[in-house]
């Protein structure tokens, strides 16, 4: 950093920001002198973790419309919050957000604290998110270091190594702290985020339009794509699950709400067979499940099962191979009624239940298969194979 004057660099970046700042619903216009609502800053920062602005905008507006204050969010039902978050991914963020809102009500009188230690004591708030809240909403000189900022700093100062390593991360934090100005720290932090999101992008940096181009060591080396170094490759483990899409004759499908922790915690998914059933023949495993869960004995189960194409959903640390079978029940089971943990829904219109994106796609596919099957039954002479497909 010896070749860069921090004051000159921050001044250059702020001048660019005043001209090119993105207009986002959680921001106030540059130069207005107004500060954004701390709650909205917090909400946006949590939503933007590993997620693009384009994906976040609609969710943010929905949340603020339904829960405009910390108090309103704290009073919301868990299921409502998870349903509003469904599709945005990384669901632990929603659980932490809701839990933190209740802690703010209980411990801070409903006002999101401005103190760094108090902020980072809340679930889901780390140093960078706390820095954003303190600088953007409270005008404090506090650095941030989200993914966009890491990329800008790594390129501008040719910081070697993957930012996930502690030594590299510490070096980037030292740079971020040294460059953050005493005045307009919030605007400077937003400028860094905007620069990384719009010009200093990962795949195709627009160096010709970058206000820091003349100071960028990586550009001078012609090595922009070498910084930051990528995460070392590793083979993520693969897990399996078998889902039963059980439907009644009138087309309703059974969903169950997952426990709060774990994969898709708090969200609604079709029932999963036990791990011990993963390698058994589908028909035998589902027949046992029907008897144990629904109290229904199915003798000719092969004619009621229709296998859906297998699919893989990738999480941050593992891949999930999903096998699913559509099961057409002969009648609605009396044992399983709608409750806080179970619901029979129209697969094409499940209401406001929180559904993970892969499950939403499964339900759409089930709805199409059910409609196809109903049409086939209306055609005289139609016969079905053992797997449920019409001949």
Catalytically active residues are 45
Asked if the peptide bond before residue 228 counts as cis, ω within 30 degrees of 0, the response is yes
* 3-state secondary structure at position 234: coil
Residue in the structure block whose two tokens are 């640390």: 317
The answer to whether the beta carbons of residues 322 and 310 sit under 8 Å apart is yes
Q: State the Cα–Cα distance between residues 297 and 291, nearest whole angstrom.
A: 5
Q: State the Cα–Cα distance between residues 93 and 85, nearest whole angstrom.
A: 9
| Burial zone of 312 (CB within 10 Å; 0-12 exposed, 13-18 middle, 19+ buried) | exposed
Q: State the Cα–Cα distance between residues 295 and 82, nearest whole angstrom.
A: 30
CA torsion through residues 88, 226, 155, 30, sign: negative
Question: Which residues touch 118 (CB under 8 Å, ≥6 apart)?
Answer: 108
Helical spans, DSSP H, in 276-356? 282-289
């Amino acid at each position: 950093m010896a070749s860069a004057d921090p004051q000159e660099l921050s001044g250059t970046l702020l001048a660019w920001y005043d001209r090119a700042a993105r207009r986002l619903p959680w921001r106030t216009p540059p130069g207005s002198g107004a500060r954004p609502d701390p709650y909205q800053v917090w909400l946006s920062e949590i939503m933007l973790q590993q997620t693009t602005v384009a994906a976040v905008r609609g969710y943010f507006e929905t949340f603020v419309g339904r829960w405009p204050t910390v108090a309103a969010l704290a009073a919301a039902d868990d299921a409502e919050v998870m349903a509003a978050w469904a599709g945005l991914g990384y669901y632990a963020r929603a659980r932490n957000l809701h839990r933190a809102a209740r802690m703010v009500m209980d411990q801070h009188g409903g006002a999101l604290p401005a103190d760094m230690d108090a902020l980072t004591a809340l679930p889901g708030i780390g140093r960078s998110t706390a820095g954003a809240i303190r600088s953007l909403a409270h005008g404090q000189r506090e650095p941030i270091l989200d993914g966009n900022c890491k990329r800008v700093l790594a390129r501008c100062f040719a910081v070697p190594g993957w930012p996930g390593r502690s030594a590299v991360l510490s070096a980037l934090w030292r740079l971020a702290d040294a460059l953050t100005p005493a005045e307009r720290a919030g605007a400077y932090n937003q400028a860094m985020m905007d620069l990384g999101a719009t010009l200093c992008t990962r795949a195709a940096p627009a160096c010709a339009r970058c206000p820091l181009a003349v100071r960028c060591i990586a550009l001078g080396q012609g090595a922009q794509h070498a910084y930051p170094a990528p995460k070392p490759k590793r083979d993520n483990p693969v897990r399996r699950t078998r889902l039963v899409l059980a439907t009644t004759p009138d087309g309703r499908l059974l969903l169950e709400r997952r426990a709060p922790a774990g994969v898709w915690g708090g969200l609604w998914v079709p029932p999963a067979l036990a791990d011990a059933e993963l390698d058994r023949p589908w028909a035998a495993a589902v027949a046992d499940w029907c008897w144990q869960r629904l109290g229904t004995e199915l003798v000719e189960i092969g004619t009621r099962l229709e296998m859906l194409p297998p699919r893989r959903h990738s999480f941050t640390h593992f891949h999930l191979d999903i096998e699913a079978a559509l099961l057409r029940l002969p009648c609605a089971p009396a044992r399983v009624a709608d409750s806080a943990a179970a619901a029979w829904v129209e697969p094409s219109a499940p209401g406001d239940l929180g559904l993970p994106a892969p499950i939403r796609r499964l339900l759409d596919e089930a709805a199409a298969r059910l409609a196809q099957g109903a049409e086939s039954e209306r055609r005289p002479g139609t016969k079905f194979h053992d797997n449920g497909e019409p001949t």
